[in-house]
Amino acid sequence: MPYRRLPNTDKARLKALKIAFSRGKELPPFKLAFSQKSNQRLQSFLNRYENAMSFYNQNFIKQTNKNRQYLASMKKARMYISHFIQVVNMSIMRGEMQSEIRKYFGLNLNESRIPSLNTENDIIYWGEKLIKGEAQRILGGAAPVTNPTIAIVKVRYETFMEAYHYQKTLQKNTARTQEELTKLRKEADNIILSMWNEVEDSFKDLPDDLRREKAREYGIVYVYRKNEISAFSLYDSRQSGAG
């Protein structure tokens, strides 16, 4: 015996709602298999739900598309920050600069290891340190670090920061529209369940096959269990062989 399966995705929910909406438009109230109360509730809800789905999908796609650009800017910023620190360390190794220079950048005076630049916060932290530290050095009369200069590092850092803030805004927009959609899903499920119960109740006196056929016209979905599918397949194959 097949069982009724309620929709569990936004696409399936919307399809169920639209089928019921169409039936409500096509049939007069006395022929409709669900109540006018459910019909009115459906009509006032459908556009809100469809719009919420659209807004969420638009924000998600925009965030995903811009994420590639964001990751590229983060990679560039990481590379230039790393190269700047490497140049400082090599200059110290060659004796062109004293190890005390590292204090301007918040680096360990006696360590040439490149700090971790794996996360967004790492890049933000060290980018700020290098830019401020080099400005202080130059203001004190020291020769600037070159290849790359801090000016180039700053350009890459600021490009990353701009992309970073924009990406955070996109993430907030996606999270907000997702939250709104999640709230509406509960209402969609409640409307669908209520309508489907009314539809099945309207056709309860019909034979099972006809009852399900009529209910399907309102978007109700019936599925067979795995063991039932196997049994029907076996039956069909035997019927075909007998023919």
**What is the mean pLDDT of the segment spanning 107-118?**
93
The whole-angstrom separation of Cα 54 and Cα 181 is 10
The confidence score (pLDDT) of residue 226 equals 73
Read off the tokens for 217: 């016209």
The confidence score (pLDDT) of residue 237 equals 46
The whole-angstrom separation of Cα 195 and Cα 217 is 13
179-230 pLDDT, tens digit each = 999 999 999 999 999 999 999 999 999 999 999 999 999 999 999 877 665 5
Residue 160 in this model has a pLDDT that exceeds 70: yes
| Number of domains composing the chain | 1
The confidence score (pLDDT) of residue 228 equals 61
The confidence score (pLDDT) of residue 224 equals 83
With H, G, I as helix, E, B as strand and everything else as coil, classify residue 94. coil
241 is a domain residue: no
**What is the mean pLDDT of the segment spanning 54-62?**
97
**What is the mean pLDDT of the segment spanning 159-179?**
97
**Is there a contact between 17 and 38 (Cβ–Cβ < 8 Å)?**
no
* Partners of 4 in beta bridges: 222
Burial code of 80-100, b = ≥16 C-beta within 10 A, e = fewer? bbbbbbebbbebbeeeebebe
159: Cβ contacts below 8 Å, ≥ 6 apart: 73, 76, 77
Residue 28 in this model has a pLDDT that exceeds 80: yes
87: Cβ contacts below 8 Å, ≥ 6 apart: 145, 146, 147, 148
Count Cβ atoms below 10 Å from residue 211 Cβ, excluding itself: 17
The confidence score (pLDDT) of residue 235 equals 43
Read off the tokens for 190: 């409640």
44 is a domain residue: yes
21 is a domain residue: yes
242 is a domain residue: no
Query: Which secondary-structure segment (H or E) carries 96?
Result: none
The confidence score (pLDDT) of residue 3 equals 86
147 is a domain residue: yes
Residue 94 in this model has a pLDDT that exceeds 90: yes
The confidence score (pLDDT) of residue 2 equals 85
Domain containing 26: what range? 3-236
62-76 pLDDT, tens digit each = 999 999 999 999 999
114-151 pLDDT, tens digit each = 999 999 999 999 999 999 999 999 999 999 999 999 99
Residue 4 DSSP one-character state = E
The whole-angstrom separation of Cα 85 and Cα 108 is 12
The confidence score (pLDDT) of residue 1 equals 75
**Is there a contact between 129 and 110 (Cβ–Cβ < 8 Å)?**
no
pTM score of the predicted model: 0.76
Residue 233 in this model has a pLDDT that exceeds 60: no
